[in-house]
Amino acid sequence: MRRKERKLLFDYLPVFLILLSILLSIYFMVPKVQEIIENSIIKNAIVPSVSKGLDKIILQIEKDASRVGLKELFKNKKFTSWLEDKISIFINDDVKYAYILYFDKDGKIRYLADFSKEDRARYWQTFNAFDSAIEKVLKEKKAVVIKQSDYTGIWLTLIKPIKIDNQVKGAFVIDFSINKLQEIQSILNRIKEFILAVSVFILLSIFVSVYQFIRYKKNLKKMYIDPLTQVYNRLFMYDNMDLLKKNYYTTFIIDIDFFKRINDTYGHDVGDYVLKEVAERLKRCIREDEDILVRYGGEEFLLFIKSNPHSEEYRYNIVQLANRLRTEVSKNVITYNNIKMKVTISIGVALCRENTDIDQMIKLADMALYRAKQNGRNRVEVYDKGLEANDKGIAIIKEAIDKNGIVCWFQPIYNLKTGKAVRYESLVRIVAEDGKLIYPHQFLNAIRRTYVHVDLTKKVIEFNIRTLLDNPKMRISMNLSALDIYNDDIIDYLDFLIINKKLASRLTIEILESEDIEDYEFFKEKIMRIKEIGCSIGIDDFGAGYSNFAHIVELNPEFLKIDGSLIKDIDINKRSIAIVKAIKHFADELGINVIAEYIHSEYILRKVLEVGITYGQGYYLKEPLPLRKRKSA
Amino acid sequence: MLRQVTIFLLICFSVAFSEEAVKKIESMIISRISSVVTGKQYRIKTYATDNMKYIFKYSKILIPSYECDKADIVIAGEQLKNKDCEKKVMIVTKYYLLRNYKNAVAAFYWYKGRPNILFIKERLERFGINLPEKYKKYTDSEKDL
């Protein structure tokens, strides 16, 4: 990810550099542009405006002077008066001084006539200024235009030679006022100011953009990092799917074994510390710049390892890494406030596959993780062909959902004292296209945490509601997992289908007690929602998980259904009898009914009755059947 | 507001800077002319009119003198208040002063935006001043004023 950020910044860098170079170019070009504009104005506007008129006058002077001599010509008042009239035509406000100079034999320069409005010189007055331009005119015998220094108050001087017998005897000099230049400079300054303002605006924009970019990066980091473990969160994963697609990644799902037990035993502070420590230990085994560690769920981590699937040792290396991760977490106990905990992890691995999206890879890894847990935890399982069969099973389930192949069979729950069925537990079955029945244990694991599971649950809800509508006296008990209850989509659907409270009162939701209940407060909110709909709550498989009795009480269930594993050997296992009795006692104290499931023999039935349990179900009493068959039976 | 203040300061600074520079150059030229006229290379006692006092700030060879009779030279940039000063060798900084004061042997003045130097041949001779060769091109006759 760091590499990605660097790359992003690197992508922006040329834009900043181009903008900066444009600004620098503008900055350096302005004086040059100013000079070009000034020269253009001089060449095309200022000089031509007087030059043509001046040329005609100079021709006349040269003509007359060739007869009487230049010095003598200007003694003639009539001539100078005529000259002044002529010159006044083209002398405008831009002209500050206009005068005629005479170069005598001694090299002295004197005024012959001066038509200036101010500083007017007298005839024959010495012109002793330091003006190298005059020397240039004498030498080159051509008109010269020179720019004057600012302090002179003159912008330009135009010097046109007056030639007699091809000798430069004098010069007509026009000094242009600096006012014109100041006007031009004022316009150019405005342009310069405008460019400056634009440049400042662009610069500010760049600064603001860079600032926003940095802030965005900081926020992005906050947004994408799980505050507890300091690893990436789910959002990061979803927002960076493209990055994951571009490269080969091997997907790991890592689950902390018995984490719920840690939380329940030692409290959330300890649980949080364990999560942090496990994340830290996992990070030690991976490459910071290459691999991506994501906190996927409560105690679940997703790990994407950048891999080369074409390498001969690919599978071997991945399994080695997974075992290294497992060992790294478990080799040292985690100590928090003198509490020492031996923490282990289970890892499911999905190896790189062509044309498989990330979601699918996660599902495959999840299936492998599930098998790792089933096989005793603290182990690594790689998704393989055996699991692939399950994967194919998903397709069959999808098809069944699409083609209404989802059915529910019903097993009665009896009042063992009266022998009357008080409700029916709804049990899902899939009818495959070939007519074969598929039982839950054959497909539920494969579709866990998939949309197929959600769709299946919705179909089951539909089926049960329809059955309740068709059978107004029937009461149904339907199983939902904690994940189903967390899913608003499913609960909204239930709410939508239940048309009235009376119908709702005939439906009980049996919650499968499991480790998926991470946050009881949140879970309780969801249960309250179901109760508001009007359904009652039952706890299924009670005694099999890691029940916190206090939490169970808070859910205020209508009944507890004792797990089948305890009932099935109640006849031979004293421990089972003791647990069942304890549950019964606990339930009686709280006024909760107890149901014994898995009653598969008369002896078991007798034992159940001995313990004082009133309600029961099982193959001995009645097997699950489709409703049609049950009615006829 | 900030922009206006900045522009104002820039204008003041550039004007002040250019005026100071011009005064410095003027002082250097006048010092050089004074040296030529008096024949002294340093410590030239100089009486200057009020508008020319600034030359002492920049000149290394001109020393201010508050009385004309003790001065080696008079620098006049305006009409002299003391008639006695007119008797001294003078350098003027206005063309019309050159015509007014018969003892003004040299002038340095701005005319049509350009600096002009002028030495009056007859007056230099009257005071027995010999100009170095390189200044001779700036001499002119009294009758051509």
How confident is the model over A22-45, as pLDDT tens digits? 767 876 777 787 788 888 888 887
Percent of chain A with pLDDT over 70: 91
From the list A107, A125, A153, the residue facing B113 with the nearest CB is A153
Q: Where are the domains of chain B?
A: 2-144
**Residue A19 above 80 pLDDT?**
no
Cβ-contact A233, A328 below 8 angstroms: no
Task: Write down the mean pLDDT value for chain A.
Answer: 85
Task: State whether B112 and A128 contact (CB < 8 Å).
Answer: no
Query: What residues contact A508, with CB distance under 8 A and at least 6 apart?
Result: A423, A475, A476, A477, A478, A535, A536, A537, A538, A558, A559
> A229 is written with which tokens?
């473990």
Describe the crossing of helices A268-284 and A259-266 by its angle, rounded to 10 degrees: 140
pLDDT confidence of residue A245 = 81
Confidence of residue B128 (pLDDT cuts 50, 70, 90): very high
pLDDT band, residue A631 (cuts 50/70/90): low
Q: When comparing pLDDT for A441 and A145, which is higher?
A: A145
| Mean predicted confidence (pLDDT) in A224-235 | 92
Query: Residue A261 has what pLDDT?
Result: 81
- The kind and range of the H/E element at B121 are helix B121-126
| Nearest-10 Cα torsion for A132, A134, A137, A140 | -40
pLDDT of residue A171: 94
pLDDT tens for A322-338 read 999 999 999 999 999 88
Which of these, A488, A570, A477, A569, lies nearest to A526 by C-alpha position?
A488
Are the beta carbons of A129 and B115 separated by less than 8 Å?
A: yes
Instruction: Express each pLDDT in A243-294 by its tens digit.
Output: 788 888 999 999 999 888 888 888 889 999 999 999 999 999 999 889 999 9
- Minimal Cα distance from B19: which residue of A? A151
What residues of chain B lie within 8 A of the CB of A126, using their CB? 116, 118, 140, 144
Inter-chain residue contact A150 with B18, CB threshold 8 Å: yes
Is the pLDDT score of B4 beyond 50?
no
ipTM strictly over 0.90? no
| Minimal Cβ distance to B140: which of A97, A126, A154 | A126
Strand partners, A176: A95, A156
What is the C-alpha to C-alpha distance for residues B39 and B108, in angstroms, rounded to an integer? 18
| Chain A contact residues (CB < 8 Å to B) | 96-97, 99, 107-108, 110, 116, 119, 121, 124-131, 148, 150-154, 175
Q: How many residue pairs from chains A and B have C-beta atoms closer than 8 A?
A: 49
A351 confidence band (pLDDT: 50, 70, 90): very high
Share of residues in chain A with pLDDT > 90 (%): 37
Mean pLDDT, rounded, for A64-69: 91
The residues of B whose Cβ lies within 8 A of any Cβ of A are: 18, 21-22, 95, 111-118, 137-138, 140, 144-145
**Which secondary-structure segment (H or E) carries A259?**
helix A259-266
Q: Do A126 and B111 touch (CB under 8 A)?
A: no
Who has greater pLDDT, A615 or A204? A615
Q: What beta strand segments (E) does A23-178 contain?
A: 95-103, 109-114, 144-147, 154-164, 167-177
| pLDDT per position as a tens digit, A543-586 | 766 556 777 777 888 899 998 888 888 878 888 888 899 889 98
The amino acid present at A171, given as its one-letter code, is A
pLDDT value at residue A393: 66
User: Does residue A136 surpass a pLDDT of 50?
Assistant: yes
CB contact under 8 A, A97 and B117: no
Give the chain B residue nearest A111 (alpha carbons): B144
pLDDT, residue B13, reads 41
Collect all residues of chain A within an 8 Å Cβ-Cβ radius of residue B114. 129-131, 152
Residues of chain A contacting residue B137, judged by C-beta atoms under 8 Å apart: 107-108
Q: To the nearest whole angstrom, how far is the Cα of A116 from the nearest Cα of chain B?
A: 9
Running DSSP on this structure, what letter comes out for residue A613? -
In this structure, the number of other CB atoms found within 10 A of the CB of residue A354 comes to 6
Q: Which CB contacts under 8 angstroms, 24+ apart, belong to B14-20? A: B18/A150, B18/A151
Mean pLDDT of A449-458: 81
CB–CB contact A96 B113 (8 Å): yes
pLDDT digits (tens, 9 = 90+) for A362-398: 988 988 888 788 777 899 999 876 555 555 567 777 7
Q: Residue A217's pLDDT is what?
A: 80
The dihedral through the CA atoms of A90, A91, A94, A99 has a sign that is positive
Residue B7 — pLDDT band, cuts 50, 70, 90?
very low
Question: Closest to B115 (Cβ–Cβ): which among A96, A130, A154?
Answer: A130
Is the alpha carbon torsion for A617, A622, A626, A628 positive or negative? Answer: negative
- A53: pLDDT confidence band, cut at 50, 70 and 90? confident
E strand map for A383-431:
406-415, 420-431
For the segment B57-112, what is each residue's pLDDT rounded down to a tens digit? Answer: 999 999 999 999 999 999 999 999 888 899 999 999 999 999 999 999 999 998 88
Q: Which residue has the higher pLDDT, A258 or A434?
A: A258
User: Are A381 and A369 contacting, i.e. CB atoms less than 8 angstroms apart?
Assistant: yes
Residue B12, pLDDT above cutoff 60: no
Q: Which residue of B has its CA nearest to A128?
A: B116
How much is the pLDDT for B30? 95
- pLDDT > 90: what percent of chain B? 61
Reduced to 3 states (helix: H, G, I; strand: E, B; else coil), residue A78 is: helix
Q: Residue A381 carries which DSSP code?
A: E
pLDDT of the residue at A629: 63
Amino acid B31: pLDDT: 95
Distance CA A304, CA A291 (A): 6
The predicted model gives A205-224 an average pLDDT of: 82
Taking CB atoms and an 8 Å limit, are A148 and B115 in contact across chains? no
What is the rounded CA–CA span in Å between residue A7 and residue A109?
A: 74
Note the pLDDT of residue B8. Answer: 40
Nearest-neighbour CA in chain B from A117: distance (Å): 11
Mutation target to probe the B interface, by most B beta carbons within 10 A, among A111, A122, A128 is A128
Cβ A128–B21 below 8 Å, yes or no?
Answer: no
A297 burial (CB, 10 Å; 0-12 / 13-18 / 19+) is: middle
Q: Which residues of A11-50 are buried (b: 16+ CB within 10 A; e: fewer)?
A: eeeeeeeebeeebeebeeebeeebeeebeeebeeebbeeb
Q: Sign of the CA dihedral A467, A472, A477, A480?
A: positive
Mean pLDDT, rounded, for B109-122: 90
pLDDT over threshold 70, residue A12: no
* pLDDT exceeds cutoff 60 at B1: no
pLDDT at A383: 87
- Residue B6 pLDDT greater than 70, yes or no: no
Best CA proximity match to A409, nearest among A628, A616, A633? A628
Identify whether the C-beta of residue A156 lies closer than 8 Å to the C-beta of residue A147.
Answer: yes
Q: Answer yes or no: do B116 and A129 touch at CB < 8 A.
A: yes
Report the pLDDT value the prediction gives residue B2, as an integer from 0 to 100: 35
| Phi and psi torsions of A475, nearest 5° | -115, 135
Distance from CA of A198 to the nearest CA of B (A): 15
- Is 90 exceeded by the pLDDT of residue A304? yes
A362 in helix, strand or coil?
A: helix
Nearest to A459 by CA among A494, A485, A488, A433: A494
If you measure CA to CA, which chain B residue comes closest to A156? B113
Quote the CA–CA distance of A527 and A537 in Å, as a whole number: 8
The alpha carbon of residue A147 is apart from the nearest alpha carbon of chain B, in Å, by 13
CA distance A597 to A624: 12
User: CB-CB: which of B18, B112, B118 is closest to A126?
Assistant: B118
What is the per-residue pLDDT for A162? 94
* Residues of chain A found within 8 Å of residue B95, distances taken between Cβ atoms: 125
CB atoms within 10 A of CB A218: 10
**Residue B14: pLDDT above 60?**
no
Which residue is closest to A197 within chain B, CA to CA? B3
Q: Which of B27, B91, B34 is nearest to B53 (CA)?
A: B27
- Please classify residue A127 by burial: count the beta carbons closer than 10 Å to its beta carbon, then call 0-12 exposed, 13-18 middle and 19+ buried: buried
The yes-or-no verdict on residue A436 having pLDDT over 60 is: yes
- Confidence band, pLDDT 50/70/90 cuts, at residue A11: low
Residue A630 pLDDT class (50, 70, 90 cuts): low
Token code pair at residue A182: 């100041």
Whether the per-residue pLDDT at A77 is higher than 60: the answer is yes
Q: Are A593 and A560 in contact (CB under 8 A)?
A: yes
Domains of chain A listed by start with CATH number: 2-183 (3.30.450.20), 234-383 (3.30.70.270), 398-632 (3.20.20.450)
Per the listing, tokens 């699409």 go with A402
B114: pLDDT strictly greater than 70: yes
The tokens of A32 are what?
């040059």
Of the ranges A49-53, A121-125, A458-462, A626-630, which one carries the lowest mean pLDDT score? A626-630
Q: Are A414 and A422 in contact (CB under 8 A)?
A: yes
CA–CA distance, B46 with B62 (Å, rounded to integer): 6
* Residue A454 backbone dihedrals phi, psi, to 5 degrees: -65, -45
pLDDT at B41 over 80: yes
DSSP calls for A484-524:
HHH-HHHHHHHHHH--SHHHHHTEEEEEEP-TT---HHHHH
Do A124 and B21 count as a contact with CB atoms less than 8 A apart?
A: no
Digit-coded pLDDT (tens) for A195-209: 778 777 877 877 887
Residue B5 has pLDDT above 70, yes or no: no
| pTM, rounded to two decimals | 0.47
Chain B residues near residue A151 by CB distance under 8 angstroms: 18, 21-22, 113
**pLDDT in the model for residue A518:** 63
How far, in whole angstroms, is CA A111 from its chain's centroid? 82
Q: What is the pLDDT of residue B16?
A: 46
Give the model's confidence band at A16: pLDDT under 50 very low, under 70 low, under 90 confident, else very high. low
Contact between A501 and A416 under an 8 Å Cβ cutoff? The reply is: no
Architecture in CATH for domain B2-144: 3-Layer(aba) Sandwich (3.40)
Pick the residue with more confidence: A93 or A293? A293
